[in-house]
Structure formats: structure tokens, C-alpha cells
Chains A and B, each alone.
Chain A
Amino acid sequence: MAAVAVKIALSSLFLSVSLATEDAFHEELIMRPLSTGHVYAHFQFSTVWHVDVEDPKAFSHYKLFPKSLGQIINQYSVEELHLTLTQGKWPHELWGYPVVSAPPGTELWVFFKENIQKSVDDNWSGLTQALSGQFCASLNFIDSKTTTSPKLSFRREGVAFNADHLNSSLLRHAALAREIVCTENLTPWKKLLPCDSKAGLTTLFNSLLLYSVNYHSLGVHLRPICRDPSCSAFSLELVQSLSLVFDPVLRGGSKLDWSFKKLFGRAIKSACPLARTSKVYVDISRNKERHGLLKTDCQGEQIPKNSVVGSDNKSPQTVTSQRSAFIIGGEFYDHFVSIILNIDHLMTNHGTSVSLGSVWVPASCDNPSFFTCLLKQSGSLFTLAPEFSVVTRQMTSEYQQHFAVYDVKQWTLENPKDRSLNVAFKWKKRDNPGTPPQFYAQRFLTGYGEEKGGITSLLHNRHPTDPLSVVYFTTFPWFLRIFLHTLTIQSGGKDIKPDIMHFTPAKDRSRPYSLEFLITLPANSVTELSIQFNKVFLKWTEHPPDAHHGFYISSAVISTKLRNPLNYTGPSRQSSVLFSSLQSAASEEVFIRLHTSILLITLPTPDFSMPYNVICLTCTVVAIAFGSFHNLSSRRFEAVDQKDSKGPVGKFMEMLQKLKAKLFRKKEAASEKKKEN
């Protein structure tokens, strides 16, 4: 017996060791109902490869990591790579923050290794060619005209090997707003996954339905990470993400309710056997956390001091916080957290599936209107089936988020007969539109005509008390002549001076304008940035095939750090999965990158049949000019007496007369002959 036990212990020890040294693959899906009724689905597939990142020779034997991509990044000495292919616009003011922000079109930014073989620019152009073949995207249109090296906006997301990690000389960034994403990009992207689309969460991918969505974003993110907490060795992490925003109404049935079968046309059939985690998360925070609604709807209602509430009349409890009797703005807010904490306490006592409405019954009350109001609001908004296993919460110090978790691996084990997992979501009542997030931005074109124009951005900082520092980065193609002196940054009529500013002027046909600055937005304000430009005549060969469509200006990138933002579920810097543990600690500040919408401008477009006509016209003008000069220099024009010389007309007339005379004489002769006869 003892021997067996030892054996088991040993084997389990061995297993854990082998798990630590082996490559890992995780698949995760987050579903979030948005306040507009849309559904946001974010797939994240991460592959961790325990390879010596700094040794190019180590990149030859592949297991879970895709070989085709590994060879490319090795060939071009890539340290970190971020590629997104996106269609559709993400309105932050309505939808909050996505897990990974991406601009419409294509964005690629890459950090190269320091001990690079050729020059960074050579590797960059080689890499774009290789990636365009790999992902069937027109990345080969990335050239020096679209490439920049921003100094502040982009930082390494993984481990930085060199001490001088703030140096942006190894960074290249480019965005192609014109690029369209389609199934031809999805197929090679799927090929990089170890299970392809044969098993796991990818079985949901139905190309027909994946592209009839409001927002579609494919991403590939590669970074070196620490293999263990002490960071003695490094690994390579490849995160492939796919973000979708569905409109459930368009999927048939006029309701906003949704299920996997409705959105994707199928259910999850199995977990990828190679995946270490295979989980689906559904954001159910709105079912629990009601402060936004209370703030608007129950404002002004009086909350009784020392009020006692109970759950199903079983155990009466006191509201622990006694700070305020009035629900006014932020002060109410503190009070409400205490109530939430009480709910949590109850929930841990009574199991997880207890919903808020059934628990909270006011026992005694000085002012019953508050609790009626609370009750009315706290009835659950929606139901979710099937039963979910665990509720994880990502906590910041003031907010909680609640996710229903489905472990697909366990699900298939527990339901061996009907393995398919179809998560169904039903609204009980229509959700109110949510509040816009703390910070968001918009951008417009201004001006009219074909000569001049301007671009205006509005940056909204909705925080009531705190100013916000943001880095604004934008590029303009060389054919818009940007005038830096026209740059105005105003907030509430007051000028704001940028704290740091980097500006690189363009070079015609070789370099774009890039403008990057750090500004501080005052609290609760809208800041307006505007800049003017002149449009340029392009050469006729420089116009794209569909010239009248116009030219895209890629989106501006705004980076900032937010304290405790709402609706934010981002990947953690330390972990390669979205949720590394059930309870995650409060992170004080979250880095957020926003992309504004892209702009389309029209440039003066020539008639493309013109070149030959122009050549002919100019040649003729030159020839006429030359001819007259030549005549002037080689001839003398003198006044001639009209009697002496008849001029060309006279000569001509004379000739005519002679001819006439000849003809008539002949005729006359003929008639004479006749007469004679």
C-alpha cells in the first residue's frame, strides 16, 4: 500500500514538473451583453512556448506553437509583434472598453531584437512581406510612407531585455486603414491554432455568421514573458484573439435574447484536448451591480439609519455603513458598496445561484420608498442557462465584476451524452442604456472644398474630480500638408499646453507626418484638438485604382492610465490567460489604449485619360514656340509693296485664274472645234 502511495505521489510530482516545462495552450471566451443590446464576444487563444527567446537556433522544433509564424519571427529577429485586422468601429461611449482595442483596418507594431542582423528597416520590410503572405492581408503595402516609430504611445508589453527599453528605435508602427478583413484572413489565422477549428471553442467559428456582425477584429499578439515568478528564464507567448460584436436582433427572432446557437449557428461541441484551460465567461455584473441605475433613479430618496434587512426573513442583518442617510451622488455610492458586500456575504452562505431580488426584503423601514425603489431595481435583469459553475470576480477597489464560468472540459465530462454547450441568455426586462466610460474620444474632418481641411478631435474626461494625462499619437500621410502652428488644444475656452510634444515632419513620398504629445485633460471636461492642412496634387501614378473613393487617414492612438475604470476586462500583464484565478486583486491603475475612427478625405483627382493629351499639348506648345523663334532667327520679315508682290493669297488667286483660263480655253477650243464641225 505504502509503495503504491509513494508511486502515486511520485507520478503526480512528475506530472506537475512536466506540466511546468511543457508548452501550454489556453482557450477562453468572454461574452458580454452591451447596454445597446449588442453582444460582445471575445475569443482568446494563448500559446506559451518555453523556448530560449534570445537564441535564434532554438526556433526549430515546434510543438504547439505554429511553425510558420515561428520561422518568420526568427528570420526577422522579432521580439514583440502586435497585429490586428479589424472591420467596424467600436463606439466607446456606448460599448465601454474592449478587451483589446484595435483601429479599423490593419495595425501592426513590432519591436525588433537589439542584436538584429540587418538594419531594422530591412527587417521591417521583409517582415511585412512575410506576414502579408502568412495572413493573406495586404501588409505588403506597408512601406516607409506609412511607418513611424512613436516615442511614447507604444511600449513593450512583454519582458524588456535591454536596459534601454524606452528607446523607440527598435519599434516600427504602421496602420493601413483601407485593409478589409475577411475569411481569407481567418483561415490562415485558424491554422496557427493547435486544434485548428476541429475541436474546442473554435468549433463556434462559422465563417458566414462571423462576418455579418457589427464589429470584427482579428488579432495576433506575440511577446516574451517570464517563465517563472523569479524571471530566471523566458518563454514566448502568442495570443490570438477574435473580437465580435453581434446584433442579436439581426440573427432572427425580434428579441435581444441570445444563445450560442443563435449567434454562431452552433454550440460548443468539445474542448480542445491540447488546451490546459478551456473556459467560457459570461459577464453578469449588470445583474448584480445596480449602482448606476440607483444613482439615476433613486436619487434623493432617503435611506433610513440603522435599517435592518433580512434574507427570506431568515437572518436579519444591519446595513453596516452608517455614513449617510441621503443618496446624493458619490456619497450614496459608499453606502451602496456596503450593501453589496452584504449580498456577497449572503451569497456565500446560501450558494451562488441566489439572485439579488429574492434575497433582499426590507424588514423595517422609516422611509419605505427607498426600499421599494431598490426592490424594483434589484430584480434580476436577465437569466442565464445552463447552470454556471463558478462566479469569478475581478475586483478593483471600488468595483466588482461578476462572470458566469463554464469550464468546457468539465462540461463534456459531466454530460457525456449531449456534449454540446449552448449558453442561452434571456432578458427579463430591457436594460437601460449605460453611462459612457470615464474617458473616450471622437474625431472628425472639418472644412470643405478640395484645397484645405482640418481635423478635430474631442477628448472626453468624465471623471468628476481628477484630471487625466493622455498621450495622443497620430500620423498623417505626406500628401496632407499639416501646419503645426494651427494646432490648437482647448478645453472650455482655455488653451492647454502639451507637456511633451514630438513632431516629425513628412518627406514627400517617403515619410509621413507623425505627431505625438502628452496633455493633461482637466476634470469633467471636453478637450478639443484641431489642426489644419492643405491638400496636395498627387502624380497620376500615385492614385490608387479606385481613386474617387478617397484616401483614408489612419486612426489616432490615445493611451492613458485609468484608475478603476468601469466595464474594463483586459488581459493581465503577468498572466497569459484572461482570468488566472477566481479572485483577482485590485489593480489600482489600468493602462488603456483607444483608437479613434478613421477618416476618409478626397483629394483633387485628375482625369486619368489626360496624360497622353497633356503630352501632346505641351509638345505642341513647345513646338510652336520653337518654330516661331526659329523662324524669327533665321528669316527677316519685311513690308513688301503690294504691287510688287501679291502675297500668298494673290499667288494662289493667280494660280486659280491660270487654271481657269486653261480649262476654259480647252472648253472654248472644244466648242470651237464643234462649231467648226
Chain B
Amino acid sequence: MADSEESLKKAHSEKRIQALVSLSVGFIFILIGIPLWWNTTKVYRASLPYSEIEQLNSLKVKYATVINVMLFGPQDPVAMKEAIEKKLRSETGYPDSVVFAEYKVTVDDKHTEILTSKLSSQSWEDLDDFFHNLFPAKDNHFTFFVLPHESPEPGSMDAFIGKYLHCILYNNKDLAQLAATITMAIKSIIVNEEEVSYAFSLGSKREMKKDTMENMTAQKSITGLQVSFTLVNSDPDSVLAEWDIEPAVKKYLDPFLVKFPHLDITVDSQVLHYSTIQINPRKDGESFYLPYDDLPHMINPIEAKLGSHISFYPTLNFVVYVPLQKYTPLYMRTKEGGQSKSNAFLSPQWGGVLIYNLQRTTSVNGSSPQRIGLDMKPVMNIFLSQLKHLLGLIQVKPVNGIKLRVSTDDNSVSKWEQDSLMRLKTMEYLATSTITLTSLAQLLGKISNMVINDHIKEQVERALYSITQSTTALEEGNLTGAVLAAKMAIRSSEEAFFDPSILELLYFPDDQKYAIYIPLFLPISLPVIMSLWQALRWYRGENDEKKDKQD
């Protein structure tokens, strides 16, 4: 009897030990094994500021513009200020719209007799320079100079915008009329609210907007450019065209490009020989012509040799084409069928082509090809005006209601045009970088085994920081600061989005991963789970026994 009791006890303690062993194995598996496996096989995902990115979806941009009105006439400045502010307020959109313009208006009375006499009898252009010298423009301040006298002829222009950051107006007795002119000028020319909000909504795709033809001329959301000049000399057997491109670039292009601080622009040039357009021109008397419909076909045969792949920036190509001697002189026809005046055409987002006719003066039988130099001035002038379009400067449309003259030069950029372009570009950059960031966050949220490196996190944070910097700069009216910060934002966000490390593990799907794990995990986990179950059963039995005993 004692013997069996002892063996029973022994068996009991052994079961206990067995149960403890299986329990501890089970716990080791659950507490150490699974976390270890999980941590060693998961992909690295740095935590991105998702909530801040989420907020970008409802980002509101408020931009301030400082308006200075200087009265040289007898008006009351206080009444004038009120009239302008009232007018501005009444026509401005709702403050809760996505892009909101804000104006800070100051009105000064500069009415002095000495000036009055000086100001009469000067032309618009002289006045433009005169005011610029008298009141040197502060950055981000736009000034209206209201002349003491009224328009001499009733039908002529009321106002003039020149090369600088100011507008000159004739006086008007009707204060409301004057205020209306000023507001109109601000809203539709100097600030051009419509275009600004359009640029933002187009980039951010929050509202569906269609591109217009004019808008598509410039490449969107680029932070740098390669401007590439190419001289295509199609007939080097008889004529060797030569150009002095280096001094021409220094003389004409460099002062022009300085005005685009938001773009990193490099300029290069090359001469290509034996490249032809491969279209046969049509004969028209002594000369030859290319019909309007054939012009697009000029680009393809040349393009293969224009390329350079070293820069990440897009290229704008400007091609001077010297036609074959047998097709000289060669002219382009316009859409209407007339002869093109400039003999050049512009291809949106690509560049421009100019046909330059060179006539050989010596006889063709002569041995060596004749060297002829190009006159660079007309060439550069045409290319500058094309470049102006291709960089996104918008032509001023006539505004109903005010008679205003805008002095624009095809080959140069005035200060107010530059400011307005920077405003547009800031909007475009901001919109693009917000949409890049939000789609990056969306993508990373959707696909769980994408790697997120610390590098990406840094870039995203930098982009977010730059966006806030840019918007605050806009609110303060600091345009240069805003555009440079927005450029940083778009760069960082694009860099994060196109980081190659994101794609590293993308093509290793989950089902394959588990197919590899199953041969290991199934045979190991089965005995562990079974023994765990046994141990639990034993434990329950123990408890029941205890209860029985207690009972």
C-alpha cells in the first residue's frame, strides 16, 4: 500500500516537473522567441510625422503685400486709405479660402509745391526713373505715385507701370474712382490674385483645374534648368557657320538670368554638323519655305544629338538652324500662311528653333567651305523673348475698366514682373511639395514592407520645416525668402519620394515569406503547443484535486 502511494507521489511530482518544463518552454517561445523573430525580420521604418503631413491637406496660404500710396495731389490720405481698404476688402475672396491675399496699405501725403512743378511735363518713362531715384524701392513694397495733375487728354492712359516696383497714376478728383483704379491694378496685374490661387490649386490638385495653353509653356515645379544653345550647321561642305556664343551669353543672357534666383541655371552650347531636319522645304520663287504644320517635325531628327544626360534638371534647347545651301534662303510660315517675321518658333517646355540663312558668297567650286560668322544680337533677342515665355512669365492681359499702360520689354524682366513670378512659383512649389509629401505618406501607409530610412525621415522633416518657413515668409510679405524656402521644400520632398531605398524590399511579398517559414515553424510549434495544452490540463486537474480535497 505504501509502495503504491509512494509511486503515485513520484508520478505526481514527475508530472509536475513535466508540466513546468513544457510551460517554461512555451513561455520562452512566447516571451523571447517571437519578439526576437519579429524584430530581426521586420523592415526598418523610421516614424514619420504623419499627423503633420495630414495637416498639409488643409494647408492655407496667406500672402501679404505691402502697398504704399504716395499722394502728390491735394487728397486726404486718411480718406484715401479707407477708400482703398474698403474696396480691397469688398473684392477679396473669403478669408477661409485656400489661398488668401492680404494687403497692408499705407498712404503718405507728399504734397509739396516744388515737386508739383517738377512732376508736370515729364513723360511716363522719365517719371519712372525719376521716382525710382527719389524713393528707392524697398523690397516687397509696391508703391503707387499719384501725380498732382490730372490726365491732360481725357481719352489717354490713366496709369503706367514701368521697370520698377511702382505705378504712376494721374490724379482724379473722384476719390472712389482713384481707389478703384489702384485696387484693380493691384488685383489683376501686380498681384494677379486669380493666377496665384490658380497656380496653387493646380499644383495641389485639391480642386480639379485644367491647364491652359499659356500655362503649359513653362515647365512646372522645376528648381533648376539647363539652357542649351545649339548651332546646327547642316551643310559644312560649303558653309561653316561660326558663332561667338560666349560673349553673347555674357552680354545678353547673364543679366537676364540673374533675375531668376529661384532657379539654378547652367548655360552651355555646342555646334553640330551634318544634322538636317529631313523635311524637304517647298519652293516659292527664289526662296523656300516650311509650312506651319511641318515645323514640329523639325525637332525630332535633331533631338537625338542635343541630349546630355548628366544633369537631373530639364533642358531648354535653343537651336539655330543653318539650312542646306540648296534650300537657302529658307523661311517659316505662320499658322495663317504668312511669312514668319522672326523666322523662329517656340516649342512649349522644350525650347525654340530659329532658322538662320547664310548665303555663300564665294563660288561653290572653291575647295574649302566658307567660314561665315553669325550676328548674335538678333539671335539672342529672339531666344530671350522665347526664354521669357518658357520660364513662366505671364503676359499682361488688358484689364477692363482701367486705362493702364504696362511697359514690357520682350527681352528683359522688370522688377514687378519678377516679384509676381516669384509669388507664382512659391505657390507652385508649395503645392507640389505638399502633394508629394501627402502621397508619400499615403504610399508608405499602404505598403507595409517599404523601408523608411532615417535619411527619408530627415528629408521629410526638412520639407515640412521649409513649408512652414515659406508660408510664414509669405505672411510677412517676404517674397525672396518664401520662394527660396519653398524651393528647399520641393527639393527635400522629391528627394524623399524618389529615394531608391524605398523600393528595396518591395518585391518580396508576404505569402512567399510565410512559405519559407512554415517548414520551420509548423514542426516546432506543434509539440510546443501540445505540451502546453497538456501542462494546462494537468494544472487544471491539480486545481480540481485540491478542490476535491478541500471539499
Contact = CB atoms under 8 A, between A and B. Distances in A.
A273 B237 contact: yes
Interface in B273-330: 273-274, 305, 307-311
Given A130-B310, A630-B528, A60 B520 contact: no
Chain A interface, >50% SS class: helix
Interface stretch (B17-25, B331-339, B429-437): B17-25
A521 interface: no
Contacts of A60: 266-269
A68 B309 contact: yes
B531 interface: yes
A523 to B, nearest CB: 52
B37 to A, nearest CB: 13
Interface string A618-646: 01101110110011011110000000000
B268 A626 contact: no
Interface in A569-622: 612, 615-616, 619-620, 622
Q: Interface centre among A75, A191, A626, by most B CB within 10 Å?
A: A626
A61 B268 contact: yes
Contacts of A636: 14, 18
Given A273-B237, A636-B14, A61 B309 contact: no
Given A195-B274, A620-B523, A633 B310 contact: no
A28 to B, nearest CB: 19
Nearest to B522: A623
Contacts of B305: 191
Interface string A68-81: 10011001000000
Given A75-B310, A273-B237, A62 B524 contact: no
A634 B273 contact: no
Given A68-B309, A196-B274, A634-B25, A274 B269 contact: no
Given A60-B267, A62-B271, A274-B273, A631 B527 contact: yes
B391 interface: no
A194 B236 CA distance: 10
Nearest to A633: B21
A413 interface: yes
B523 A630 contact: no
A72 B271 CA distance: 17
B367 A634 contact: no
Nearest to B249: A61
B246 interface: yes
A638 to B, nearest CB: 10
A319 interface: no
B269 A619 contact: no
B531 A626 contact: no
Nearest to B11: A636
B407 interface: no
B319 to A, nearest CB: 13
B308 A71 contact: yes
B379 to A, nearest CB: 15
Given A67-B308, A68-B309, A635-B18, A195 B527 contact: no
Contacts of A619: 519-520, 523
B369 interface: yes
A250 B229 CA distance: 47
Interface string B352-396: 000000000000000111000000000000000000000000000
A265 interface: no
A261 B274 CA distance: 24
A634 B523 contact: no
Contacts of B527: 626-627, 630-631
Nearest to B21: A634
Contacts of B367: 413
A61 B274 contact: no
A61 to B, nearest CB: 5
B245 A274 contact: no
B1 interface: no
Contacts, number: 95
A337 interface: no
Contacts of A66: 270
A631 B526 CA distance: 12
Contact of B245 (A61, A198, A615, A634): A61
B520 A623 contact: yes
A196 B519 CA distance: 62
Contacts of A61: 245-246, 249, 268-270
**Contact residues on B (Cβ < 8 Å of other chain), bracket:** 35 or more
B240 interface: yes
B308 A633 contact: no
A270 B367 CA distance: 12
Nearest to B371: A18
A467 to B, nearest CB: 49
B307 A273 contact: no
Contact of B520 (A413, A612, A622): A622
A199 interface: yes
B18 to A, nearest CB: 5
Interface string B218-250: 000000000000000000110010000110010
Contacts of B269: 60-62
A413 B305 CA distance: 31
Interface string B91-124: 0000000000000000000000000000000000
Contacts of B311: 71
B195 to A, nearest CB: 34
B208 interface: no
Interface in B1-38: 14, 18, 21-22, 25
B524 A627 contact: yes
A616 B308 contact: no
B516 interface: yes
A68 B273 contact: no
Contact of B369 (A67, A133, A273): A273
B268 A71 contact: yes
Nearest to B304: A191
Which of A71, A615, A631 gathers the greatest number of chain B CB atoms within 10 Å?
A71
B356 to A, nearest CB: 17
Interface in A515-562: none
A429 interface: no
Contacts of A485: none
Contacts of B519: 615-616, 619-620, 623
Most central of A196, A624, A630 by chain B CB within 10 Å: A630
Interface string A312-344: 000000000000000000000000000000000
A63 interface: yes
A198 B324 CA distance: 14
A467 B237 CA distance: 54
Contacts of B246: 61
A615 B518 CA distance: 10
A56 B340 CA distance: 40
Interface in A264-297: 270, 273-274
Contacts of A75: 310
Interface in B173-204: none
A191 B270 CA distance: 13
A273 B524 contact: no
Given A68-B309, A130-B309, A627-B523, A274 B22 contact: no
A64 interface: yes
Q: Which of B18, B266, B307, B519 has the most CB of A within 10 A?
A: B519
B18 A68 contact: no
B268 A623 contact: no
B307 A68 contact: yes
Nearest to A416: B365
15 contacts: A61-B268, A66-B270, A67-B270, A68-B307, A71-B310, A130-B310, A195-B236, A196-B274, A273-B237, A274-B236, A616-B519, A619-B523, A622-B524, A627-B523, A636-B18
Given A191-B305, A273-B237, A623-B524, 18 more contacts: A61-B245, A61-B249, A62-B270, A67-B270, A68-B310, A71-B311, A195-B274, A198-B273, A198-B274, A199-B236, A199-B274, A270-B237, A274-B236, A616-B519, A619-B523, A622-B524, A630-B528, A634-B21
Nearest 6 pairs between A and B by C-beta? A623-B523, A619-B520, A619-B519, A198-B274, A67-B270, A62-B270
